[in-house]
Amino acid sequence: MTNINKNNEKVVVTNLHKYFDHNEVLTGIDATIYEGEVVCVIGPSGSGKSTFLRCLNQLEEVTDGKIVIDSFDITDKKVDINKVRENIGMVFQQFNLFANMNVLKNIMVAPVSLKKMTKEEAEKKAMELLNRVGLADKAHSFPGELSGGQQQRVAIARALAMNPDIMLFDEPTSALDPEMVGEVLDVMKELAAEGMTMIVVTHEMGFAREVADRVLFMADGVIMEQGTPEEIFGNPQNPRTQDFLSKVL
């Protein structure tokens, strides 16, 4: 894509380590992600991709290392993580729409509770977003009444309601029936085209190849190789990357 602003480092990760008990899941990650960049993270399961993503908004506490987002060091205990999270949207594999609220409330609850918008503003914004993801007619449905693809599109709308400037996607299409993958990827492509900074953990190699500005290949808790989609998919250098791609492509 063309919107990358190399002068603005949105996310800077330095020497990130993460242990679960005695199990070291991330073994030293360094990465910089620029404003407007779309980064896809690929790799075998167990490689730490999701853990890496979840560290970026502190859903996982980091064991060691530094994560700076918009010049806030979020590993610093003095930084109000809730404030930082307001600017980082996240979309989950299992959608995680709030089961006790209808679609409209799901989208409105954060901006209203956090006093970013009045109820009226939030409702207007929610309807705009629902229009955008093609689900305006579902505003009063409950999550359980929607298909997986519809739920995920609502989840994207919910994350966007806070006007974030970074979006994290944790395998957003992995729990979907095959025929619904396209509708979710289309919304993500649109978002990418509008210049959103996106970090996407995915198994959709087609999406990564088409939309990513940069692809990170992770294995054993580190970034083994990174480059443009052409470099990674066309001419991978690392034997682990070659091996992984030969299995999934």
Partner 1 sequence: MDFSRVFNEAMPLLLEGLKLTVIVSLVSILIGMVIGLFVCLMKMSKNIVLRAIAGIYIWIIRGTPMLVQALIVFFGIPQLIQLAVKGFRFDAITAGIITLSLNAGAYLAEIYRGGIMAVPKGQSEAARSLGLSKTQTMIKVVLPQAFKFSVPSLVNQFIITIKDTSILTVIGMAEIVNQAQRYVGTTYVFFETYSVVALMYLAIISVLMLISNYVEKKLKYEGRKRHRDQH
Give the footprint of partner 1 on this chain (CB under 8 A).
57, 59, 82-83, 85-86, 88-90, 92, 94, 96-100, 102, 109-110, 113-114, 140-142, 144-145, 155, 158-159, 162
Q: How far is the CB of 70 from partner 1 (least distance, A)?
A: 14
Least separation in angstroms between CB 206 and partner 1: 26
What does the DSSP assignment read for 7-51? EEEEEEEEEEEEEETTEEEEEEEEEEEEET-EEEEE--TTSSHHH
Of 99 and 249, CB closest to partner 1: 99
Q: Which is nearer to partner 1, 115 or 247 (CB)?
A: 115
Task: Compute the least distance from the CB of residue 69 to partner 1, in Å.
Answer: 13
Are the CB atoms for 247 and 241 separated by under 8 Å?
no
Q: Which is nearer to partner 1, 48 or 89 (CB)?
A: 89
Q: Which is nearer to partner 1, 90 or 180 (CB)?
A: 90
What's the min distance (Å) between Cβ of 248 and partner 1?
Answer: 26
181's tokens: 């993958």
CB 16 within 8 A of CB 28: yes
| Residues facing 11 on adjacent strands | 33, 69
Smallest separation (angstroms) from partner 1 to the CB of 169? 12
Beta strands 197-201 and 214-219 are unpaired
Q: How far apart are CA 166 and CA 152, in angstroms?
A: 17
C-beta of 101 vs 205, nearer to partner 1: 101
Q: Return the bridge partners of 33, or none.
A: 11
